[in-house]
Amino acid sequence: MICWVAERALAARNVERAIVATDDQRIIDAVTSAGFEAVLTSSQHRSGTDRIAEVAAELNDVDIIVNVQGDEPMISAETIEHAVSALEADMTGSSETDRDGIGIVTTWEPIESAADVINPDVVKIVVDENERAVYFSRSPVPYPRDAIRKHPNLETALRNDPELILGFRKHTGLYIYRRDVLLSFATWPQSELERTESLEQLRALEHGVKIKAIKAISASIGVDTMEDLKQVRLLVEEEARSLEYKL
């Protein structure tokens, strides 16, 4: 799965290099034997972002770091390209007034089922009208209070009023960082919200980092459970059969 993610990352036209950062020698061996680059990092990191920062600290000739999480094997190269371009556009504004000071770009997808709204493994994101991330949570946010008052609970409300699902967005495991923001992030202590939700992106929000959140080009599946893995394997098999048919 890790090699599949690395392959997807390299397929993005504006990604020059893919490095797998891990503290597990078994992953190093699997990745390098498949022909991909990997770096063994400290085992003391508090989050994946801290691990990425260790590698980024040695990359002095780059301004943008792409973090594709290893549990996102179905992420599309087009989504990565789109997110990188969004940060590039902000960094290269023709004047200070053209720049919004974005430090991180991430992506979201529409949530399509009530089960995903309730599922704490599906991280929800709240985005404002300027595509700015307001909050991330494992809980169903934003909470449709008035709609819920008509029903015993949220699950019943979602079942009886399917349009409520349209108010929820799923956060996907892709982050595009300005390198300087990433290195600063690694120096900040874990925040209370980060520990409570077990979501590292909340540390950035609490330190005032502006996070732009754009819609993904296509859907992906984060592999958090064995059921997720089974679903991804079926999709990969279908994709392979489709390619064979076209050939």
Q: Token pair of 188, please?
A: 């900040």
Q: Which helix (H) or strand (E) holds 176?
A: strand 169-178
Mean pLDDT of 56-84: 93
Nearest CA-CA partner of 131 in 46, 213, 227:
213
Q: For the chain, which domains are there?
A: 61-246 (3.90.550.10)
Side-chain-side CA neighbours of 1 within 13 Å: the count stands at: 20
Give tens-digit pLDDT for 180-228: 999 999 999 999 999 999 999 999 999 999 999 999 998 887 787 888 8
Give the whole-angstrom CA distance, residue 86 versus residue 125.
18
Tell me the mean pLDDT in the region 168-177: 94
Note if the pTM is more than 0.85.
yes
Interval 111-129 mean pLDDT: 93
Residue-averaged pLDDT of the chain:
90
Pairing of strands 133-137, 124-127: antiparallel
Q: Which residue has the higher pLDDT, 211 or 159?
A: 211
Q: What is the pLDDT of residue 37?
A: 96
What is the structure's pLDDT at 241?
72
Buried b / exposed e over 221-230, threshold 16 CB at 10 Å, is bbbeeeeeee
Q: What is the pLDDT of residue 215?
A: 96
Q: Which residues pair with 39 in a beta bridge?
A: 21
